[in-house]
Structure 1
């Protein structure tokens, strides 16, 4: 009889251990952060110059909108940063359609730099890698918000 009591206790302990692992798993699972667009601070600076010359008249000096939609804030992020659309969608729209009075007149570099500038104003951080045709393929998700 002692032997069956031992088996029962061991089985109970095994079940408890398994239950503990199963209960701990959801809390211990780590989520992988969404990839963020890559651009440099130099691109942001150059993009700001292009924005001031070619975009500010319609989109406002703080990208807040005016005669054209705002390029910052919740509406912008809801449209472009849903995690399904690549950064290329923002860039391509800019490159092909802007400025409104001369669509498609921005050079490749200018369009990349303006895209970097707009992203920076929406909370994305500059890094060491330039925004390029390759890095434009990254899906655009809302930027992480910093907690105090």
Structure 2
């Protein structure tokens, strides 16, 4: 199958808003690319995470993709993706679905029954009694807000 090429004159790029009138020569859709640095670039290929180790029923595994880490949660086990799935902490009490938030190399997770933190220096995960057990977590302009505390 031959490659199809069409030159658009004048090349105005993607329309800035859906409210543009018809026949303004803007493109309306972009498939397979994203806008970065004021130009369209191809999306990076994403490797499928092999989560076959986690045999828990739905809604597990839960995958949290952060800026500096990828955390994969089973019902009672937490893994981290480091060019492969690495088990970080096991034997956690089951609760509801996991909530997670990160700040640089720090991570805080809670399932409503137990709270787990990731140490910024050693990158180890541990159950924490210093942070609250909660049912919701939010990052509001760099401030971590938690709600639904367990008494």
TM-score band, normalised by shorter chain: under 0.3
Which of the two has greater strand per residue? Answer: 2
Which of the two has greater helix per residue? Answer: 1
What TM-score, normalized by structure 1, do the two folds share? 0.19
What TM-score, normalized by structure 2, do the two folds share? 0.19
**Which has the bigger relative contact order, CA under 8 A and spacing at least 6?**
1
User: Larger Cα Rg: Structure 1 or Structure 2?
Assistant: 1
